[in-house]
């Protein structure tokens, strides 16, 4: 089952968040969903060489905020910001409302599964041996601190007549597919070759994301008990001061 479920979708709501954040009623839901798909496809086709890993879309009443995570922010922004301005104008024309474009840089692209898959696919398109591309990518990713990695290529590998799949994994580490707290990144890319398309899938395990430990309310209970114990003493002291003041007033009158 772990091999047939998308690693990202399996963990949404547990350690992952949604890639699109907005609310719509039944009539507008389908339109906005299809619009998100069109916007993502347009950005990926327009910026094929920008190293875009994922695109987050947030919607408000009259505004769309698109956040692109890329390893090459300079390619997206362009000289003097003209590239992102032109992209924003085209997206506003497609969406029919105001669009805000944010660009976030991926510091370590070797640990991003989507970028690693696209790198392997581009090497296969340049007729580099797919076995060599897989082993080199696994070595670079493990040196950057990954705790496990698996790569799978499928198709007419090497121009063979019958398509088949080949899987390679890191010699050390593991890739837990069923552990929900495991931070497993997943990427898929396709290499377009003269003999057909070759699919590349990458799984990268970065460790477990543990929930924040709950603090035991011991100190709170101790403070409550201290306040409760001190309350009668404070009340007795206040009552004594009131009695002294009353007796002093009686003596003054006498």
CATH assignment at residue 140: 3.30.1140.32
Q: Is the residue at 2 inside a domain?
A: no
> Is residue 15 domain-shared with residue 99, that is, in the same domain?
yes
pTM score, whole prediction: 0.79
Tokens 């198709």, residue located: 155
> Is residue 12 domain-shared with residue 94, that is, in the same domain?
yes
Last residue of a domain, one of 82, 107, 132: 107
Does residue 243 have a pLDDT over 90?
Answer: no
Residue among 9, 18, 1, 17 at smallest CA distance from 178: 1
Tell me which of 163 and 218 has the higher pLDDT.
163
Edge-to-edge strands, sheet with 196-208: 164-169, 148-155, 196-208, 182-193
Does residue 232 have a pLDDT over 90?
Answer: no
- pLDDT tens digits along 29-66: 999 999 999 999 999 999 988 899 999 999 998 899 99
Last residue of a domain, one of 92, 107, 122: 107
Tokens 């100190």, residue located: 219
- pLDDT tens digits along 96-147: 999 999 999 999 999 999 999 999 999 999 999 999 999 999 999 999 999 9
Q: Please report, in angstroms and rounded to a whole number, the separation of the first and last CA atoms in the chain.
A: 95
Does residue 152 have a pLDDT over 60?
Answer: yes
> Is residue 56 domain-shared with residue 125, that is, in the same domain?
no
For residue 1, what pLDDT is reported?
45
Distance in angstroms (rounded) separating the CA atoms of residues 79 and 82: 6
Q: Is the residue at 223 inside a domain?
A: no
Q: What is the rounded average pLDDT of the residues 55-78?
A: 92
Query: What's the CATH number where 42 sits?
Result: 3.30.300.20
Return the bridge partners of 102, or none: 67
Domains of the chain: total: 2
Last residue of a domain, one of 208, 225, 246: 208
Tokens at residue 231, please?
A: 């309350």
Burial letters 91-101, b for 16+ CB under 10 A, else e: beeebeeebeb
For residue 44, what pLDDT is reported?
92
Is 93:130 a contact under the CB 8 Å cutoff? no
- Domain containing 115 equals 110-208
Query: How does the average pLDDT of the chain come out, rounded?
Result: 86
Tell me which of 199 and 247 has the higher pLDDT.
199
For residue 4, what pLDDT is reported?
74
Q: Is the residue at 26 inside a domain?
A: yes
Q: Is the residue at 238 inside a domain?
A: no
Lowest mean pLDDT among 15-24, 71-80, 238-247: 238-247
Between β-strands 20-21 and 52-59, what pairing exists: parallel, antiparallel or unpaired?
parallel
Does residue 237 have a pLDDT over 60?
Answer: no
Q: Is the residue at 33 inside a domain?
A: yes
């Amino acid at each position: 089952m772990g091999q047939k479920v998308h690693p990202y979708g399996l963990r949404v709501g547990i350690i992952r968040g949604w890639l699109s954040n907005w609310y719509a009623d039944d009539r507008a839901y389908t339109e906005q969903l299809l619009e998100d798909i069109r916007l993502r496809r347009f950005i990926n086709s327009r910026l094929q060489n920008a190293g875009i890993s994922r695109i987050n879309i947030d919607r408000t009443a009259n505004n769309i905020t698109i956040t692109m995570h890329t390893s090459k922010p300079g390619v997206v922004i362009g000289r003097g910001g003209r590239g992102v301005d032109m992209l924003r104008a085209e997206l506003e024309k497609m969406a029919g409302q105001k669009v805000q474009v944010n660009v976030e840089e991926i510091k370590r692209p070797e640990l991003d599964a989507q970028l690693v898959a696209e790198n392997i696919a581009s090497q296969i398109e340049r007729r580099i041996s797919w076995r060599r591309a897989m082993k080199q990518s696994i070595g670079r990713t493990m040196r950057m601190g990954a705790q496990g990695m698996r790569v799978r290529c499928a198709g007419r590998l090497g121009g063979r007549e019958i398509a088949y799949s080949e899987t390679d994994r890191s010699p050390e580490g593991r890739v837990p597919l069923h552990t929900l707290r495991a931070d497993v990144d997943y990427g898929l890319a396709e290499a377009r070759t003269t003999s057909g398309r070759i699919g590349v899938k990458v799984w990268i395990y970065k460790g477990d994301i543990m929930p924040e430990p709950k603090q035991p309310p011991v100190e709170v209970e101790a403070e409550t008990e201290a306040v409760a114990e001190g309350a009668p003493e404070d009340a007795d002291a206040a009552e004594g001061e009131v009695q002294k003041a009353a007796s002093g007033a009686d003596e003054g009158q006498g």
